[in-house]
A and B are shown apart, each in its own frame.
Chain A
Amino acid sequence: MAGILRLTKVTKEYPRSGVALRDLSFELAKGEFLFLAGHSGAGKSTLLKLVSMSERPTSGEVKISGYSSATLAARELPKLRRKLGIVFQDFRLLADRTAEANIAFALEVTGAPHASIGPKVARLLTQVGLAAKATAFPHELSGGEQQRVAIARALANDPFVLLADEPTGNLDDRATRGIFQLLREINASGTAVVMATHDVTLIEWSGLRFLELEKGALMYDGNDAARLVADLRGRR
């Protein structure tokens, strides 16, 4: 399988807080599902920032879908972003717009043809199971539902990879399972997913590949969840 994302000896150092990632290398195949595991401060979010090219590595190279962190011009960044879907722990919805308007916003600002927006939004809402809540405002939705809207928005431009930074961090168990299920479905339809989480149970239960980060260093890359459980739980 062709790799769509490759990090080669990536180190990220901040002038104030020091090294956030150290000498990290890994590859993500097309359509793969990957967890990023580790305590807060382990470097999960930094890794996602580097992958979305919000930040550039201090050394090493991030390569995603033909774009390289070494050569990407600021002008090209929007083009790359349209191929990425990004989801956050705090949803980041526009509070004064309905669910459908929030999703439409992503299409409008990237210049989608006007006529295509309505049907596309409806399809996305159905995909995330919120067809009935199209006209609800974020404050009228539960946390899980808000995250579904955010995921629908992230999918609006048909990304090939979805980056999710602790998407279930603010949700209860039931909603967590729902969101995870949705991400699995999205993954099954061909979109790669990179999900940062400290929810060990979820990783254990899924049996999927994960990267274990600790203080910016890659400790493990594989799907032996037993090891992770020992590592993370043992150190608590």
Chain B
Amino acid sequence: MRLALREVLLAFRRAPVLALLGITTIAFSLFAFGLFGLVAINIRSALREVENRVEIRAFLTEGASDSAASEVVVAMQRLPQVADVGYVSPDSALERARAELAEFRDVMDSTVLPGSIEVRLKEGARDPETMRTISGKLTAFPAVDDVRYGQEWVEKLYRIRTIAGVAGSGLAVVFALVAVIIIGATIRMAILARTREIEIMRMVGATNGFVRLPYLIDGVLKGVTGGVLAVLLAYAANSVISRNLVVTQFFSAQQIALGIAAGALIGFVGSWFSVDRQLRQVWRDA
């Protein structure tokens, strides 16, 4: 192990430019992937925020009793798709309206506004289909006069979400693939520069595990360093955008750790395959 580390250091000292180039390449390909990831998580969180505002509002008939209203509330609460249910009495509806629309205060009379029930759905149950079903159930109550949930709007939102999801996954795969290919090529280049060492190690009887070790360490170190650099770059880019354009969300600590781990893994796998190819080549002709 100590020898392997020494070899790694030695390789870096002998060809620092190549090593730095490798790290930079890894950093930038992970950075590109990271930027894409940032855009994706921000679009997703924006969509979720909009989705959170989606609610079904059932207006009650004029003069509906409190008990009739609570009957609807209880029935709604029992549904598995429902997150929470609120009852807005005619009085509080009026109060709310007065607060929000101060200029119409004089016009308002306590009988003008109907009571209503607001139903919020759980995440994952906000698709047009579910919303239609729930509003159908609401309409069935005699105390309910009218149900509104902005059908067209919900359908549009839902479509956008589906498209974003599919396009996002597709692009993520492409970006990840590009990163893996570039990083793999970078590591392979570093190993090709050391063909002779590998050849000699094999010639004098070093075990395959022993031959691999320094290159694997090298690959993982480069992957981790590249990953950390990519996170820093992405953080800088995110800060600039947040400060000057729109406030954006950055990766969670978990996502950052995952990104760096991915860098390490790519470094490891890339090195493994590249060394393996060298190991399979036997006694090159003079």
Contact = CB atoms under 8 A, between A and B. Distances in A.
**A in complex with B:** yes
Given A45-B285, A55-B283, A88-B286, A111 B202 contact: no
A108 interface: yes
Nearest to A108: B3
Interface residues on B, range: 20 to 34
Contacts of A83: 205
Contact of A109 (B210, B283, B286): B210
A78 B286 contact: no
A67 interface: no
Contacts of B208: 74, 78
Interface SS of B by simple majority: helix
B204 A54 contact: no
Contact of B204 (A81, A88, A96): A81
A218 B59 CA distance: 104
Nearest to A170: B286
Contacts of B200: 92, 94, 105-106
Contact of B199 (A45, A82, A92, A154): A92
A110 B204 contact: yes
Nearest to B14: A96
A165 B286 contact: yes
Interface string A59-88: 000000000000000100011111110101
Interface residues of A, number: 32
A50 B201 CA distance: 18
A157 B204 contact: yes
Interface in A89-127: 89-90, 92, 94, 96, 105-106, 108-111
B205 A110 contact: yes
B203 interface: yes
Contacts of A80: 205
A94 B205 contact: no
Contacts of A88: 286
B253 to A, nearest CB: 40
Given A92-B199, A108-B3, A109-B3, A82 B204 contact: yes
Interface string B183-218: 000000000000011011111111110110000000
Interface of B: 3, 14, 196-197, 199-208, 210-211, 282-283, 285-286
